[in-house]
Amino acid sequence: MISKFTYRSDPVRIVFGAGAVTVLRAEAELHKMSRLLVLCSATRADFARRVTEPIADRRVGFCDAAGQTMLRAAFDKIVADIKCHNANGFVVVGGGSPIGLAKAAAATIGLPYIAIVTTYSGSEMAPRWYLGVAEDRVNVESVAALPATAIYDPELTLELPARVSAASGMNAMAHAVESLYGIDTNPVVQTMAEEAMRRLGSSLPRVVQDPRDLGARTDALYGAWLAAYFRAAVGLEHAIAQRVRQWFKLDHAFTHAVATPYAAGFNAVAAPEAMARIRRALGVEDAARGLYDLNVRLGLPTGLKDLGLLEKDLGKAVEVVSAVKIAHPKPVTKADLENVIGQAFAGAPPRF
C-alpha cells in the first residue's frame, strides 16, 4: 500500500524532442518577450548565435560571462547587461554553469527566461541557486529562479564530446540515485528516478560509442530530465561532490560521477528499496558496484585523485563536507566521511 506523501510540481513549461529548438520564437511570444538578451559561455558564443537565429530581430545583446563557477563578477555582468539593454526577458544556451547564472539573475531581478539545454546536468529544473565559491558561497532556493520554458532538443547535444557527455550523464544519475532515498522522497519521484537510471544506464554507453547516435542522445536527455525533475534534500553524494569540487577546483560533473557509487554504497543497508530500484534499472547484482562499473565502462575516472585532489587535502575535504547538513536515511559521522571520502579518493570499487 502506498503511504501518504507530498509532491510538488514546479511550473516549468517543457518542450522536448528532436527539432524542439524551432519553437523558440513561439515560446518567446507566449511569454511576451520582445527584447531578449542571450546568455552563454564564451566557448559557446558562436553556437548560441546560431541557435537563437530565429529570434534575431528580438535579440538586444549577448553576454558570454558564464564560466565553470558561479562567480559574482559574472553575475554582476549579466545583471548589468540586462539593465543596459532594457531586456524584458532572456535566453540561456548551455549546461549547468550558464543556467546556474541565469537562475540567479532571474530570481534577483524578476525577469522570465527560456533555457535551451545542451547537457545533462539538470540545473534548469532545480529552484536552488548559488553565488560565490567555497567559504564565500551563498545558497538560495526560489521558484523564481526556474525558467518559463525549458527546451530539450537532442540534436543540439550531438557535438558534445563523448567524455563530457558521459560525465554529465553521470551527474544526472547522481540526482536520480539520491532522489530514491532522500528523506523527502515519494512514489512519484521514485518511479521517475528509476526510469531515469534505466534510460541513462542504457544510453550513455551508446553515446560514448557513437556520439552522433540521435536515439541514444534522445534517451540520455530524457533520462536527465526525469532525474532533474525532483531534487532530494542534500545527501552525502551532493555534499561531497559540491563542496569538494568547489574548494579544490575539480570538474563539476566528473566529481559527481566519482562520488555517486560510494554514497550509494554507504546508504545501501539503510535504503534497501532504493538499492533494489538501482539494481533493477541497471540490471546489476549490487547497486554501488553497478554504478562504479558503469563509470569504468564509460571511461570515466573513478577516484578523486584522478581529478586532481591531493592526498594531503583529504583532511580539509572531510572538514568542509562535515559543515554541510546532510539529510539521510543513515546518519553520517566524521569517521564515516573519512571512510567514504578516502575510498572516493583512491577510486577502487566501493566497500561497505
Q: Yes or no: say if 315 and 244 are a contact pair by the CB < 8 Å rule.
A: no
pLDDT value, residue 327: 79
Ordered per-residue pLDDT tens for the chain, 352 residues? 677 777 677 789 999 999 999 999 999 999 999 999 999 988 889 999 999 999 999 999 999 887 655 567 888 888 899 999 999 999 999 988 899 889 989 988 999 999 999 999 998 998 877 665 555 566 677 888 999 999 999 999 999 999 999 999 999 999 999 999 988 888 888 999 999 999 999 999 999 999 999 999 999 999 999 998 776 666 899 999 989 998 999 999 999 999 999 999 999 999 999 999 999 999 999 999 999 999 999 999 999 999 999 999 999 999 999 998 887 788 999 999 999 999 999 999 999 9
DSSP-based helix, strand, coil % in the chain, nearest 5 = 60, 10, 30
Q: Domain 13-157 carries which CATH code?
A: 3.40.50.1970
Which cell numbers in the block locate residue 33? Answer: 518577450
CATH architecture for residues 162-346:
Up-down Bundle (1.20)
Report DSSP letters for 2-22, one per residue. Answer: PPP--------EEEESTTGGG
Rounded CA separation 204/47 (Å): 23
Question: Residue ranges per domain, the chain?
Answer: 13-157, 162-346
pLDDT for 233? 64
Task: Write down the pLDDT at residue 27.
Answer: 97
Task: Give the per-residue pLDDT at 137.
Answer: 60
d(CA 298, CA 285) in angstroms, rounded, equals: 19
Dihedral (CA of 177, 179, 132, 345) sign: negative
Question: Residue 232: what pLDDT?
Answer: 62
